[in-house]
Amino acid sequence: MAAAQYRAALPVIQTRRLVLRVPTLEDLPVWTSICKDSFGDTPQAAWTEFSYYTAGWLLHGHGLFTVTLKGDDRAIGFVVLGLEWDDHEPELGYMFGAEHRMQGYATEACAAVRDFGFDLLGSGQFVSYVSQSNTRSNALAQRLGAVRDANAESAFGPTQHVWRYREVQA
């Protein structure tokens, strides 16, 4: 009951097709399934990563969003505006199950979290760290209006892109 009360104080974002909300324990199996390539099939590693990203809300005032389809509260993916322990600045990242890729959900959800980030942190205050070889994620960052930041990239190796999000002034 207390957890539900705390979650109620955190943001819920609605888009045309999606609802982005703070994670619940019921989302852990989907998280584990989507992220198994990152940490293997160990339930402890999945729990640690899930807890880490969810704790961002308490530690930084931003964190992991669970993405659901409107009218269906089951998780289809996750978008994070958060800090990993070694990040230089907040990162906008995402992960979706294979069956929910290539349908525009990542673009729609990330655009909503990008706008949330502008309101919360300000223009130019968060990035996406993307491997040079990840062509789909690099293309998504471009679609979202991010531009590569050569100064930020200089802190990494030559295969790491850093995409900076700035509001476009109309």
pLDDT digits (tens, 9 = 90+) for 71-121: 998 999 999 999 887 788 999 999 998 888 888 999 999 999 999 999 999
Domain ranges for the chain, please list them. Answer: 2-122
Query: Structure pTM?
Result: 0.91
What lies within 8 Å, CB to CB, of 29 at 6+ separation is: none
Q: Which residue has the higher pLDDT, 86 or 63?
A: 63
Contact 83, 56 (CB under 8 A): yes
Question: Which CATH number describes the domain made up of 2-122?
Answer: 3.40.630.30
